[in-house]
Structure 1
């Protein structure tokens, strides 16, 4: 994230830009300077996830109750000294930054492959140097913070712009995060989350004014510098030759700077001593080798301008002023400059924010468009429904719904999945039937053959998917016997009869055609209602790669239940789907290992009759659902009694292989699937969902195999 190389440069070449501060002292100073105004810190939550996740175990699916307790401690530390916190989460990936998103996801795939290689080689969790966020952490952190009574917002674009804008407009004490873009925005002070000591509330403030002094630049020059160095909008390679020319003519290289640091100094020197000579006389494109990338470059510079700010590097055209909410951006006279993707949104503003599509015109916000206009830019034409969905999205109350209803596009980041284990399906495939039914609720199932009806673009990370294009997925029609409409939601909603929420949480895996349903419920029955500290000191005999993936699969399933609840107008309490109420990664792993060793159900539930009854109830629900879905449950290999509730596999003298390659021939279709259909619903999904091209076509499903 942020500007290429700037983080290291600030730490090594400009240490004076880093100042030790104390939040309690800053809050007292703020109150004295602004009486009646509570000191507020706006938090870039996505930058803080690694800092917040302190539990020792992370590879098994997450220690969620411990994580929730850590979040509570974080909030308490600030509120105790009278500091208000406002948390922002990324809500959507901007089209212009999709390539950056893809690049990071592919890099994460490599990290995950190393993690599974380590687990198979050592039988234990890797060290913190290989730490990877548990699946679903960002999603559930939103709900955890709301549960803790915190103001939690979800962005309608890249979150850093909205964080910087909120901090400026609300005169905040500062921004807490870890992104060098906050050194570029002309906004409130920027504090480092990685340097934060929670006990004392000491941290480091990174001062953009001191950075400007060191580089002999003004604050207004920083966006230009950022784009010339490369950021999430302007690719780093775009100006590689230009930076080399700057470095070649630069004569004041610092001995304490590495090559990258000297490049930053050289580019800053060129701005201050060359570009400024002709500032106001020549267009920027006449002084820089922009070529065909003028529009992209101007968009990059303008993306740092907050409401009310202008840039001296973008020429003003009398009849070409683009309005971005309360922001006026003077645009280039170049007709190729069309900042189509600049959509400024401010959740706290009472004014609706226009969408900028061309420098010559002012466009109204999609929320204020007429219905016929709305149909051109969104998947759903009802403006009232969109207003509700947008409000729920901004307030971080829903999950994925607004993206489906507006752009027809959603994404899901990496999951801890073993690309070499062909026996286990990716969560992208497992929960696709569930998502397809949600699409039907929100968009309608369409008809008229394979080419009819809406199509949702899914950017889901899974093995073998290069993410060059989205998977094109069509809705599946809802056909629930006795279903009836649920009031209060944004579209058509159905319910198959009264089912206790806790049973919905686990049984829905089977109800949606998910083959691990029975396996999940088998282990989960003993996972519920454990106190947070009961699994903290638990020592696992070893870490099993298959159990690691199953734990992540289960948590991703919980996030899909949040999607279902959001799409259905929240008929159930979201607390029933929160992992800290129903799941413990280490305990799940322990129960999986016990199950592998042949422990009976009675032993797995620790001789608790109520849990045993619940287990059999869940098993019954899932088995009936599998029958309805034409899925056949294949029993495990036969077990023979051994001793004291333990069983052994007949004919088995050793443990199964970790990689699962011996089973790859039988279930190769789950993994060897490629990236998905680009023009139509792919034929290969015929094995995994009750329909293929035509939404009404049914076919037999592959049998469910629960044997490892």
Structure 2
């Protein structure tokens, strides 16, 4: 070698050492569904194997609940942070509820958190297969002749409303359906038989307290209005004070079948002289119910396709407020709320009966006939 004397020894070549994990910065990639990013670049992204592929797209070789084993290959970026601001309850056991537009001085309308809590309790029971757990506990108690002991499913709900501090969570337990036994979550998500599809739809309707045959009749409830009717029916069944009056329910149904809903130019030119505080609160409560219904639909295996879940196909806040003002101040009938269109009036009239439970305290209109399911 040049530069070395004859007979001298060649110094050994030093091996290039890999940088330690402490010197490598943490990645800035989105977090996975467990909200725990990889500590260094030496660990590839991962996800919990119990979460659905919709919530996260990382590959995994997880071995159990609460543990995730990173794989040796990278995958597509995580999408949970862009779709869901909070991790799914199945991984963390917690749920953050958004704040709704509410008037603390109004005692007639309940907070959205309390209004849809029963639906979320049913959703938790479906999500954690509580019915199957209860059935197994009953069989074990009968075999061993011991009292039935069913483990509770407790979810921490972080919310803020009148009289509730956002600093402390509320412990909410999961519930099972009384009318029928819901299959486990694996059967709901992966079942391909016709009976499995019917069970998905029934589980969704049971979560929204709408498990009646009239809801599945396309002649009464069009498919794209099923989610709307489920939310309205749930609001009507509130055991406290009356939430929706007859003219307010007419306004919801009239704007859902209005032709202006698909004409953005007319909606843009629509002007409202004076806003009504109750109409704004009812619209906010309804959209909170839509979020809960979408949560139930995803949990039950998506029995309602996505194209029928989009809120803009059955709801517009500006159009609803115009119908609400027309029905409240002008005392307009249902056919007048539909702008005199006979077809839209008949559609709203046919949607009335399955939307209302029995018994119902609302007075039926002469144009609608008897209100029954």
Please tell me the TM-score bracket, short chain as reference: 0.5 to 0.7
Q: Which residue of 2 aligns with 1:489?
A: 189
Candidates 287, 293, 307, aligned match of 1:561: 293
Q: Which residue of 2 aligns with 1:547?
A: 279
Candidates 147, 165, 168, aligned match of 1:466: 165
Distance of 1:400 and 1:434 partners within structure 2: 20
More strand by share: 1
Q: Which residue of 2 aligns with 1:604?
A: 337
Q: Note the alpha carbon deviations across 1:525-567, whole angstroms, 9 max, x for none.
A: 2323421121222221311111111111111222122111211
Q: Which residue of 1 aligns with 2:226?
A: 504
Contact 1:437 1:478 in 2 (8 A): yes
Distance of 1:635 and 1:399 partners within structure 2: 41
Tell me the matched-pair count: 278
Distance of 2:129 and 2:247 partners within structure 1: 32
Distance of 2:28 and 2:268 partners within structure 1: 50
Distance of 2:190 and 2:236 partners within structure 1: 26
Contact 1:437 1:477 in 2 (8 A): yes
The structure-2 alpha-carbon separation of the partners of 1:485 and 1:533, relative to structure 1 and needing over 3 Å to count, comes to farther
Q: Displacement, 1:395?
A: 5.7
Q: Note the alpha carbon deviations across 1:78-109, whole angstroms, 9 max, x for none.
A: xxxxxxxxxxxxxxxxxxxxxxxxxxxxxxxx
The structure-2 alpha-carbon separation of the partners of 1:569 and 1:404, relative to structure 1 and needing over 3 Å to count, comes to same
Distance of 1:632 and 1:510 partners within structure 2: 13
Q: Which residue of 2 aligns with 1:291?
A: none
Q: Displacement, 1:581?
A: 1.9
Candidates 509, 525, 549, aligned match of 2:253: 525
Contact 1:344 1:354 in 2 (8 A): no
Contact 1:483 1:494 in 2 (8 A): no
Candidates 457, 461, 465, aligned match of 2:156: 457
The structure-2 alpha-carbon separation of the partners of 1:613 and 1:504, relative to structure 1 and needing over 3 Å to count, comes to same
The structure-2 alpha-carbon separation of the partners of 1:469 and 1:481, relative to structure 1 and needing over 3 Å to count, comes to same
Distance of 1:441 and 1:401 partners within structure 2: 19
Q: Which residue of 1 aligns with 2:3?
A: none
The structure-2 alpha-carbon separation of the partners of 1:309 and 1:395, relative to structure 1 and needing over 3 Å to count, comes to same
The structure-2 alpha-carbon separation of the partners of 1:557 and 1:566, relative to structure 1 and needing over 3 Å to count, comes to same
1:456 aligns to what SS in structure 2? Answer: strand
1:495 aligns to what SS in structure 2? Answer: helix
The structure-2 alpha-carbon separation of the partners of 1:480 and 1:533, relative to structure 1 and needing over 3 Å to count, comes to farther
Distance of 1:350 and 1:573 partners within structure 2: 37
Q: Displacement, 1:464?
A: 1.6
Q: Gapped runs of 5+ residues in structure 2? A: 1-20, 49-57, 70-75, 135-146, 203-212, 238-242, 368-373
Matched, 1:615 2:337: no
Relative to the length of structure 1, the TM-score reads 0.34
Relative to the length of structure 2, the TM-score reads 0.61
Q: Which residue of 1 aligns with 2:110?
A: 425
The structure-2 alpha-carbon separation of the partners of 1:599 and 1:520, relative to structure 1 and needing over 3 Å to count, comes to closer
Q: Which residue of 1 aligns with 2:62?
A: 369
Q: Equivalent residues in 2 for 1:308-387 (5 A)?
A: 310=24, 343-344=36-37, 351-353=44-46, 367-371=60-64, 374=65, 377=66
Q: Note the alpha carbon deviations across 1:424-453, whole angstroms, 9 max, x for none.
A: 011111211221111111013365899941
The structure-2 alpha-carbon separation of the partners of 1:478 and 1:570, relative to structure 1 and needing over 3 Å to count, comes to same
The structure-2 alpha-carbon separation of the partners of 1:481 and 1:522, relative to structure 1 and needing over 3 Å to count, comes to farther
1:468 aligns to what SS in structure 2? Answer: coil
The structure-2 alpha-carbon separation of the partners of 1:558 and 1:595, relative to structure 1 and needing over 3 Å to count, comes to same
Contact 2:200 2:303 in 1 (8 A): no
Q: Displacement, 1:469?
A: 1.5
Distance of 2:113 and 2:339 partners within structure 1: 34
2:106 aligns to what SS in structure 1? Answer: coil
More divergent stretch after superposition (580-589 vs 449-458): 449-458
Q: Displacement, 1:506?
A: 1.4
More divergent stretch after superposition (558-567 vs 417-426): 558-567
Q: Displacement, 1:585?
A: 0.9
The structure-2 alpha-carbon separation of the partners of 1:619 and 1:369, relative to structure 1 and needing over 3 Å to count, comes to same
The structure-2 alpha-carbon separation of the partners of 1:354 and 1:542, relative to structure 1 and needing over 3 Å to count, comes to closer
Q: Gapped runs of 5+ residues in structure 1? A: 1-306, 312-323, 328-340, 356-364, 384-390, 640-644, 646-708
Contact 2:200 2:302 in 1 (8 A): no
1:472 aligns to what SS in structure 2? Answer: strand
Q: CA RMSD in A?
A: 4.4
2:255 aligns to what SS in structure 1? Answer: coil
Distance of 1:419 and 1:449 partners within structure 2: 43
Distance of 2:36 and 2:27 partners within structure 1: 9
Q: Equivalent residues in 2 for 1:111-260 (5 A)?
A: none
Contact 1:441 1:478 in 2 (8 A): no
Distance of 2:115 and 2:60 partners within structure 1: 35
Distance of 1:460 and 1:402 partners within structure 2: 15
Distance of 1:596 and 1:450 partners within structure 2: 52
Q: Which residue of 1 aligns with 2:322?
A: 590
Contact 2:254 2:334 in 1 (8 A): no
Q: Displacement, 1:351?
A: 3.5
Q: Note the alpha carbon deviations across 1:484-524, whole angstroms, 9 max, x for none.
A: 88966279954236454323121112454654466664212
Contact 1:343 1:354 in 2 (8 A): no
